[in-house]
Structure 1
Amino acid sequence: MGMTFTRAHARLVLASVLATGLVAAVLTVPEYKLTNTVSLAESYEASRPVQAADGHWHTHDPERKNDISQSGEMDAQGAVAANSLDPTSAAEARENTAYVATQRDLVEPELVPASFTTPRAAVPEDRYAVAGGCYELNGQPITFRATDLGVHLLYTNKGTFITGHLGSWVHLTNHPSALSEWTTEKTADGFTFQLHNGRYLTVKGGALVTSKTPGHFDLHTTTGCKEYPEVEVNVTGDPHAGLTPYQEVRGYVDAHVHGMAFEFLGGEIHCGRPWHKYGAAYALPDCSNLLQPGTKGAPLDVVLSGQAVRDPVGWPTFKGWPAPDALTHEGTYYKWMERSWRGGQRVFVNLLVENGKLCEIYPLKRNSCDDMESAKLQAQDMRALERYIDAQYGGPGKGWYRIVTDPFEARQVINEGKLAVVMGVEVSIPFGCTMFLGTPACDTASIEAQLDELYDLGVRQMEIVNKFDNALAGVAGDEGVIGPAVNLANFLETGSFWKMETCDPADGESADKTQLALPNVGGDAQDALFGAIMEVAGIGVPLPAPLYGRPMHCNQLGLTDLGAFTIDALMERNMLIDPDHMSVKARQATLDQLEAAGYSGVISSHSWSTPDAYPRIYALGGFVAPMAGDSTGFYEKWQRHIGWADERFYFGFGWGADINGLANQGDPRGADAANPVSYPFTGLGGVRVEQQVSGERVYDLNVDGVAHYGLYPDWVEDLRMVGGEDGDAIVADLARGAEAFLQTWERAHGIAPDSCRNPELRATRAAWDERVHPGMTTVELMAAVGQPFARLGSTYSYCGRGSGASDVEVTVRIDADGRVTGVTWP
């Protein structure tokens, strides 16, 4: 269009685009069913009107993706509340940092290789074992590509597909279809192949045809097959596993991913998907369908990234996407995820995501905008992906992507060498808890019922607020030019703007969002800003939305009674509670509630908490995974976070990529960096990591940044390079992240922390004899005497109270089935 797009201009345009839909939508404000209005409304203070509806729109400011917190700036003084302060002194930070260093010197758990490529038998063992193999079929070498469990494409060495017809004909086609998918069975007489229309593959006159009766084929491995086109992993060496299913684990944690966001906002703003039964060419397609006539680059992508031109073609050239700022294009294709797993990742938290209000405003959609319906659809997608990966790896349960629902199952999965996938939620209106003009649309009974429904789906991690105020809690808001647009959406959902008031946090940073302030402009500054937006959008006179500039601001809406009820309900279900996106007041109240309950299951997953909260989260035994961003910025976050570590708990670190959540990924440091990533490099567990290849594109983190999810092993290596003499330390803490995450989750299940780091929990031998007996499972053991200090191979180590109040080491022996065989006291 002849424009030069800057990031500031991109945000201005996005604000205007959103405001266009919002102002139009205000003419048709929806009616809400009123439920339990009097009792709830009376519980709120008049100065804290409860507003409505959580949302999700991660247009994070790219310039701030490396901040310690995504809330507030560092130019204010004073106090907003007694506990709105990072309480850690410089001396305490040095002590905590030294504690973390001592933990890296502990004995490492022994890791062993776990092979997922069993030697292929000359004759397949069953219907699943043919997946990915090269077999002779009627004299031809055929590659078997799984589309589902026991269903395969028959791919010839000419690059064509054996495809049935409505009659008896069999064609060789260039593209697969439903008539190219053959359900495979192994019988006593050989293998059979059947189409969805009921016809079978057979041979007549030496040629392949279809018939109502099955033909039987003897399959044998052969050579000469053509490789099925696919994204490469480019990691060699077996993934690491544990000696036993119950030992200490090693692996990286991503606590905040939106792997199923291709369904979000109606399903029409996102190009690509994490898998397609026909492979990369179909999952990562040409994105021209998102283009405006005569332009290059999806219009939403343009305003989000500031890139006026982006080549829309995906497979096989990938010239314009994926990229760190290609925010509406798929970033978590399953082969890229496989590379991250193969490179050392062992925990993947996938958040089901939706923003019903923005979905309603966006004109194109194929899915429901209802938050719960969208969450259910995405949960179903996660199960479908798990099944698809199983199909590629030889059958049910054999894939590396395993959805887990408790920390004990997750530990076993990780010690098998696989990826533990945790299902979480970050939606606009959890449990239907929107509110309009102070009247909530939910009550405690509806929260319980819908939380149970989410739990039954497999959800175990949750935020209760995201972009808008809702009936549960106030929100941190959004900053910069985008803030007024989101606030306007807040008005449409709730009937009110954010109740932001100036505040002076004691640490100068623990506040909510500060928006763009126009210097040297009088009282009509907001009119000038919105006048410009409306002029661009062609709307006319806008609604007068407030601006929150300097000094810093705090949302006066905290945690509501319904919100406190929800926190209790999450604790009752042993779920992981994420306070990110809450207003400072709401987060403080939430942490007060968790502290009163002694509940460890709290996780800040992507830097949307504040520095006053992080020491409290660590003190609870919680887990923190800051926004990944650029390696240099993340390294600085790590340096500060280890100063907040609590010596009463095992320390490990994670990151939150927020990929597919309209969040920028890490930019490259440049090919001329003094200490670039050198390929190949050695990853966790000794694997060899080469440059990643997708179709015709070869990726180099030094110049491409975190263009897609498969480059996170490279990003970890970049952290090692950025860290210099501390490079090994940060990577070690990230490798300990999976164990720290699991221990936080175990404590959420009521398991006490270990007695070595917590001397008051040390028990006498008499108490041990009463509580512990042979045959107990490791879970029963921990329920009786808490978490062990060390879990090495087939032994758990504890600290006990000996005679004369002396401290002794207690060793518990465990057999291959995970049951206690004996206890040794000195």
Structure 2
Amino acid sequence: MSSIRIARSVLFSVGVVAVAATLLLGACGGSRAPEVPVSDMSAGDRYAMANGCFAVRELRSGRFLAVAGGTVRLADTGTPFFMKPTALGRYLFYTPDQRFLAMTSPNQTAADALGDLVDAVGASVGGGGDVIALVNPALPVADGLNDAGDAIDGTGDAIEAAITAQRTLGIVDAPNDGAEWTVDTADQGFSIVATATGDALAIDGAPGRFVFVAQSGCTPYPEAQLNATGEPFKGRLADGTVFGYAETHMHLGGTEALGGRLGYGSPFHKFGIPHALGNCAVDHGPSGAFDALDAIVNPDKAFFPPHDTQGWPTFRDWPSHGSQTHHQTYWVWLKRAWMGGLRLMVNHLVANEVICQIWPLKQHDCDEMDSIALQRQLVLDLQDYIDAQEGGPGKGFFRIVYSAAEARRVIEDGKMAVVLGTENEKIFGCGEFLDVPECTREHIDAELDRWYDLGLRAIFPIHLFDNALGGTRLTEDPALSAVYQGGNILETGHPYATIPCAEADATPPGQAPTQTPRGIIDTVLLTIRGLPPASPLTGCVQNARGLTELGDYFINAMIDRGILIETDHSGTLARKRILDIAKARDVPVLSGHTGFISDSRDSRRILEVGGIISNLPDEPSPVTVAFIQDLIALYREVHGNTERLATGLGSDINGIHVQAAPRQDAAQNPLIYPFKSYDGRVVFDRQVTGERVFDLNVDGVAHYGLYPDFIADMQMQPGGPEALQYLFRSAEAYLRAWERAEAARKKSGR
């Protein structure tokens, strides 16, 4: 498959700049602060202007940058700029009348339009290749179209650069690449360079050296509000454990998966929330006419509903608890969840090549590992962006971690540890067609090593479709069953093979078979005879495909590298074999977003090997409390006590899954605002983003920042306080499971 295709306007938010040294920053609207001597600044102070109000003095002349109309000049009194970070060491200079200092071209508007058109043509050509790729023998033609799309797409930036080659210093009404400035230390001050062109800021000729003078009178740049005050817990508890809960299954890059235009929005954008969560018409069409998926899966909408596509600042129709095609994890909302006790997050990089190929609108390649690589970079950039907003490298609450020890240090420091995982159909390209594997043991070893070095620490070996490693879990939902069956045929060339549930469930521990591949003739006969499998409405069936010999090798290879095993989507026979291996190798497994406890899901065996079972909180808080009560009862049966019991939340947010609706009795028995966090250290009020005020009683969990509200609502329910004890042990439990996985790596000699 061809390389990743990226739309400039949505994705390339490169990192970001920071906030620090609050004594330096005169808050906008405060009194004029004295100039900070250059000699007192360290090299890191180029991050200290973040989200502060400053005048900019040119050292040679001693005069200030001043904006008058559309021109910039030196004057005795300077214009106060709100310094909005776009990346580490990069800024927008935002004027009180809401305009931007920029290297601007009179042709900028035309260049942007032409660049967007070229990008759209490239994406359409490549998208045609992705659709053709649904027919396996046509892959060479599909690859050719993908390459052509990449070639067309690659010319867009070059055309735009050529049209805007002649730029001058001025003021623009909306941020563009010419309005982004890189600030760096220089002799006796700072250099200011246009990031897009490399031109140094110069007034009256020669490039200048500048100092930033704390100022008042700025207009703050648009941003969502936290509506939370207090200092979150840091350190250890008295027993030496960490405090906080784990989010065991979510998708920060979910709207970038499936071609990047099925879902809209991003956790950040270098030009801020008006661009990260702007107008979804760019993907969903006028009035949301192209948003067919959400029309089908959103429980609050009829088929093909119109919706208000405007996000910032009104957000009339989205985000909502039922909408599954609008981004729900903007970075400020993540911060609010962290302030509510979230201390460990497993972010699954997600992809499905077939769904991507079917959907005609796209801006990224459908190759699953390309999509995962793109989402990984997005998360790295998000970490940098948050650092930039909060004072410089390493200062943000959001920390990607690569070992249990590092995660423990991060949590003890009061921050949130972020673990990278994957959830896709063909991990490392290990699909199968007509039962012929599309990868080898050597390929698996090479890719596991490469992706381990890239930070991958948790893997779903199997997702919605069969692959070279084993069979998927079949759904009991008739509509989804038909969709998945069709996808499996497109992906593998054959339908699911099925056996009665009783036969699959009765397989005792230690006796789950490892499946040898069928011959092509047998698979073709199965395809002819087996369409469709037995309906869940007429009889319970499970996937007859277990863990394959290659899958057996894959699971052991994961254990050898200390990578955690995700089991939720594995078919019954495949999961039983995984549990056999886990028991023999003394490692835990994860069930990160189950939603229920049952023998058919091998819940008992997962607890027996020391695994973690987390709830899928897609219904109001009493359901989560009931889930934890069921888990408590089962854990007591298995272990005789609950001393080590812990359970997390696995929201599956941005993963085409609903979030919790309001309680039916919320009007009569509402969550009262303001409320305190579980540990009592942080006070929360209703969350405000732009003009929208979110209230759990009315909106449910419309976005990720409402999970503190959801947890407070849990505390109100019968049994809620006890349930929360186990929830807030889950960060520690995940670390201990990870430590056991790392111990198995050491035993393997790697």
TM-score by length of 2: 0.76
Q: 1:346 to 1:245 in 2, by over 3 A?
A: farther
Q: Which residue matches 1:120?
A: 23
Quote how far apart the aligned CAs of 1:678 are.
0.8
- 2:701 is the alignment partner of 1:706: yes
Q: Which residue matches 2:570?
A: 582
Q: 2:658 aligns with which of 658, 664, 675?
A: 664
Q: 1:391 to 1:291 in 2, by over 3 A?
A: closer
Aligned partners of 2:630, 2:393: CA distance in 1, in Å?
44
Q: Which residue matches 2:173?
A: 174
The DSSP-based 3-state class of the residue aligned with 2:453 is: helix
Q: 1:595 aligns with which of 578, 583, 600?
A: 583
- 2:544 is the alignment partner of 1:556: yes
Aligned partners of 2:740, 2:599: CA distance in 1, in Å?
23
Contact 2:236 2:242 survives alignment (8 Å): no
Quote how far apart the aligned CAs of 1:286 are.
0.9
Q: Which residue matches 1:347?
A: 344
Q: Which residue matches 2:243?
A: 250
Aligned partners of 1:748, 1:663: CA distance in 2, in Å?
29
Quote how far apart the aligned CAs of 1:343 are.
1.5
Quote how far apart the aligned CAs of 1:504 are.
2.9
Q: Which residue matches 1:628?
A: 617
Q: Which residue matches 2:532?
A: 545
Deviations 1:415-441 (A, max 9, x none): 111110000000111122111222111
Deviations 1:236-265 (A, max 9, x none): 112221069994211121111111112211
Q: Which residue matches 1:336?
A: 333
- 2:559 is the alignment partner of 1:565: no
Residues 398-437 of structure 1 correspond to what in structure 2 (within 5 A)?
398-437=395-434
Q: Which residue matches 1:325?
A: 322
Q: 2:669 aligns with which of 652, 655, 675?
A: 675
Q: 1:506 to 1:699 in 2, by over 3 A?
A: same
The DSSP-based 3-state class of the residue aligned with 1:359 is: helix
Q: Which residue matches 1:652?
A: 646
Q: Which residue matches 1:190?
A: 189
- Of 424-433 and 602-611, deviating more is 602-611
Contact 2:467 2:492 survives alignment (8 Å): yes
- Aligned-pair identity in percent equals 38
Q: 1:348 to 1:118 in 2, by over 3 A?
A: farther
Aligned partners of 1:158, 1:387: CA distance in 2, in Å?
29
Contact 2:587 2:744 survives alignment (8 Å): no
Contact 2:20 2:392 survives alignment (8 Å): no
Q: 1:134 to 1:244 in 2, by over 3 A?
A: farther
Unaligned runs of at least 5 residues, structure 1:
1-29, 31-115, 205-210, 511-542, 753-779, 784-826
The DSSP-based 3-state class of the residue aligned with 2:259 is: helix
- 2:608 is the alignment partner of 1:619: yes
Q: 1:396 to 1:676 in 2, by over 3 A?
A: same
The DSSP-based 3-state class of the residue aligned with 2:502 is: coil
Q: Which amino acid aligns with 1:328?
A: T
Aligned partners of 2:23, 2:368: CA distance in 1, in Å?
45
Q: 1:485 aligns with which of 474, 483, 486?
A: 483
- 2:64 is the alignment partner of 1:161: no
Aligned partners of 1:749, 1:506: CA distance in 2, in Å?
32
Residues 101-120 of structure 1 correspond to what in structure 2 (within 5 A)?
119-120=22-23
Unaligned runs of at least 5 residues, structure 2:
2-18, 26-35, 57-63, 65-77, 106-165, 509-529
Quote how far apart the aligned CAs of 1:310 are.
2.2
Contact 1:254 1:657 survives alignment (8 Å): yes
Quote how far apart the aligned CAs of 1:585 are.
1.2
- 2:360 is the alignment partner of 1:363: yes
The DSSP-based 3-state class of the residue aligned with 1:715 is: helix
Q: Which residue matches 1:459?
A: 456
Aligned partners of 1:642, 1:174: CA distance in 2, in Å?
58
- Of 456-465 and 599-608, deviating more is 599-608
Q: Which residue matches 1:822?
A: none
Aligned partners of 2:557, 2:363: CA distance in 1, in Å?
33
Q: Which residue matches 2:54?
A: 135
Quote how far apart the aligned CAs of 1:489 are.
1.5
The DSSP-based 3-state class of the residue aligned with 1:267 is: coil
- 2:296 is the alignment partner of 1:393: no
Aligned partners of 1:668, 1:429: CA distance in 2, in Å?
36
Deviations 1:320-379 (A, max 9, x none): 000111111111111111111122101111101111122122212221211111111111
Contact 2:499 2:543 survives alignment (8 Å): yes
Q: 1:403 to 1:297 in 2, by over 3 A?
A: same
Contact 2:501 2:540 survives alignment (8 Å): yes
The DSSP-based 3-state class of the residue aligned with 1:144 is: strand
Q: 2:712 aligns with which of 712, 717, 735?
A: 717
Q: Which residue matches 1:241?
A: 234
Q: Which amino acid aligns with 1:692?
A: Q
Deviations 1:434-487 (A, max 9, x none): 112221111111111112222121010111111111111111123221211210
Q: 1:601 to 1:589 in 2, by over 3 A?
A: closer
Q: Which amino acid aligns with 2:392?
A: G
Q: Which amino acid aligns with 1:198?
A: G
Aligned partners of 2:732, 2:282: CA distance in 1, in Å?
43
- 2:675 is the alignment partner of 1:691: no
Contact 1:322 1:329 survives alignment (8 Å): yes
The DSSP-based 3-state class of the residue aligned with 1:717 is: helix
Residues 15-26 of structure 1 correspond to what in structure 2 (within 5 A)?
none
Aligned partners of 2:624, 2:604: CA distance in 1, in Å?
18
Deviations 1:305-330 (A, max 9, x none): 15123221111101100011111111
Q: 1:384 to 1:246 in 2, by over 3 A?
A: farther
Quote how far apart the aligned CAs of 1:117 are.
6.4
Q: Which residue matches 1:817?
A: none
Contact 1:466 1:475 survives alignment (8 Å): yes
Residues 198-347 of structure 1 correspond to what in structure 2 (within 5 A)?
198-204=198-204, 211=205, 213-242=206-235, 247-291=240-284, 298-305=291-298, 307=301, 308-347=305-344
Residues 444-523 of structure 1 correspond to what in structure 2 (within 5 A)?
444-478=441-475, 479-504=477-502
- 2:627 is the alignment partner of 1:637: yes
Q: Indicate the RMSD between aligned Cα atoms, in angstroms.
A: 2.7
Aligned partners of 1:505, 1:679: CA distance in 2, in Å?
52
Deviations 1:169-199 (A, max 9, x none): 4322221111111111233422221113232
Contact 1:675 1:721 survives alignment (8 Å): no
Q: Which residue matches 1:113?
A: none
Contact 1:500 1:548 survives alignment (8 Å): no
Quote how far apart the aligned CAs of 1:669 are.
0.9
Aligned partners of 1:293, 1:265: CA distance in 2, in Å?
21
Aligned partners of 1:568, 1:578: CA distance in 2, in Å?
13
Quote how far apart the aligned CAs of 1:600 are.
2.4
Aligned partners of 2:437, 2:98: CA distance in 1, in Å?
58
Contact 1:143 1:154 survives alignment (8 Å): yes
Aligned partners of 2:239, 2:377: CA distance in 1, in Å?
29
Residues 760-799 of structure 1 correspond to what in structure 2 (within 5 A)?
none
Bigger RCO (CA 8 Å, 6+ sep): 1
Quote how far apart the aligned CAs of 1:297 are.
6.9
Q: Which amino acid aligns with 2:198?
A: G
Q: Which amino acid aligns with 2:84?
A: R
Q: Which amino acid aligns with 1:618?
A: L
The DSSP-based 3-state class of the residue aligned with 1:233 is: coil
Aligned partners of 2:231, 2:633: CA distance in 1, in Å?
35
